[in-house]
Amino acid sequence: MTIYHISAECFPVAKVGGLADVVGALPKYQNNLGHQSCVIMPFYDNKFTQNNTFESVFTATFLLGNEKVNFRVFKLKNKSLDFNIFLVDIPELLFTNNIYSNDDTNRFIAFQIAVLQWISQMEVLPDIIHCHDHHVGLMPFMMSHADQFKSLKRVPSVFTIHNAQYQGQFSHSKENLIPEFDKNLTGLLDWDEQINPLATAIKCAWRVTTVSPSYMNELMYNAKGLESLLSSERNKCIGILNGIDDVVWNPKTDGFLIKNYSKKTVISGKKANKQWLCKTFGLDEKLPLYIFIGRLVYEKGADLLSEIFDISLQDTQKSILLLGSGDQKVERGFEQLKEKYAGYFNAFIGYDERLSHIMYAGGDFLLMPSRIEPCGLNQMYSLRYGTIPIVHKVGGLKDTVTDINDHGFGFCHEGVSAIEVSKAISRANAFYARVEDFRKTLKRIMDIDHSWQYSAKQYIRLYNELIKLK
């Protein structure tokens, strides 16, 4: 079957977080299963687009409100990605250095119209249009109800919620940007007197998925205002656990690492990566190294990190290294901690793909005190690299990490207070001292298969059900 994934992010073209990793991996695994899966995303101004060549495959014009917008669709020329990727070029709206900005409503409505305009005139339509997150949440509505996209009415749409905290709401005063539709259907766009693309997608997509089964259950009572909507649409919702790209994320071949390693050589391999990290960030390599990688936002428990680190570092029996950016107050807090715990704590504020790989490899424990975690990829990467996760039992973390006391391999805490997280860290530190058990566990977790193999098949099964309904 032919599947079109539509997304604002896709690794390695443009990435802010897990959305990019998922959209950059799932199509690859679907193609391995014998399907034709591709990605359509905006043409941004970044390193990837500067360093690659593209061919133009479609040119047209549409109306965004009263304004005429010209666009082109480019296809990546080389085959480096294992799936076809198409970039929609609307220079005045999408060709920016940052993926997201202040006028995202206009930018992403324009993107969605351009995508549909291109697809709707194709001689052979795709079997499935799979939309990811609120940036493309109006597509299922437009496919079913916009006059100009009539040809797409019977093409099944799947919508995946990667994060329900972000819904893309905007005022009804911008309703005119959406192509002509029967105004009796305005209610489908509305949630709480605003146009809410995430809510619209939940109402209009043929099926709604989230990125882990536990997150789907949690959304029924914690979905930033959409709980009742999700409950009423529950029959078409399903949680499918994300996988990881086990080709990109493979310690044996990962080109970013200081030293590659397998399960057999994990001790020396991790040591070399840890030595580099400790040397680079002025930490003591003899102590267990705890890492945190992620967006510094409330959902990830970022506001608690300084307190957690402050409690945990008092015994000078461990080091902590953080990679991330976000809330500036949180970032400033780390500057103080760097001084107070020089030699035990360091933080790299920013985004650095290479450093993240070396940290997964060189860390001993990964911290994820997330308040909300739709799936979480970090814990799956860390397992593959032999780094033990310490996680809050929530969402996808609950589905992928079992506590060592329950015959598992990680450290789970029930709540996210600084005290609870610090207690889990103390348990982990005691475990580190049990050298044999610690080493056995590293090897054991490297064997856990979280690749897309299984979940890619689940999506295909779901698509097949929808194709039968056509």
Task: List residues near ligand ADP by CB under 6 A.
Answer: 17-19, 21, 293-295, 323-325, 351-353, 356, 375-378
Give the 3-state secondary structure of 242-295: CCECCCCCCCCCCCCCCCCCCCCCHHHHHHHHHHHHHHHHCCCCCCCEEEEEEE
Q: Return the number of the residue (197 or 324) whose C-beta is nearest ligand ADP.
A: 324
CB of 17 to ligand ADP, least distance (A): 3
What's phi and psi for 325, nearest 5 deg?
-155, 160
**Residue with the CB atom nearest ligand ADP in the bound state:** 18
Helix (H) or strand (E) holding 128: strand 128-132
Residue 457 CB, shortest distance to ligand ADP, in Å, is 21
Q: Which is nearer to ligand ADP, 120 or 356 (CB)?
A: 356
> Nearest distance from residue 433's CB to ligand ADP, in Å?
28
Residue 468 burial (10 A CB sphere; 0-12, 13-18, 19+):
exposed
Minimum distance, C-beta of residue 325 to ligand ADP, in the bound complex (Å): 6
Toward ligand ADP, which CB reaches closer, 42 or 294? 294
List the one residue out of 1, 4, 3, 22 whose CA is nearest residue 240: 22
347 phi/psi in degrees, rounded to 5:
-140, 135
Taking the least distance from each CB to ligand ADP, the nearer of 358 and 466 is 358
SS3 54: strand
For the bound state, the minimum distance from the C-beta of residue 409 to ligand ADP, rounded and expressed in Å, comes to: 18
Least CB distance to ligand ADP at residue 348 (A): 8
Question: Among residues 127 and 373, whose Cβ is nearest to ligand ADP?
Answer: 373
Q: CA-to-CA distance for 371 and 345, rounded, in angstroms?
A: 23
9 or 127, CB closer to ligand ADP?
9
Rg of the chain's alpha carbons, rounded to an integer? Answer: 23
Provide, rounded to whole angstroms, the least separation between the CB of residue 73 and ligand ADP.
Answer: 27
Kindly tell me which of 200 and 379 has the beta carbon lying closer to ligand ADP.
379
Number of other CB atoms surrounding residue 61 within 10 Å: 10
Contacts of 173 (CB under 8 A, 6+ apart): none
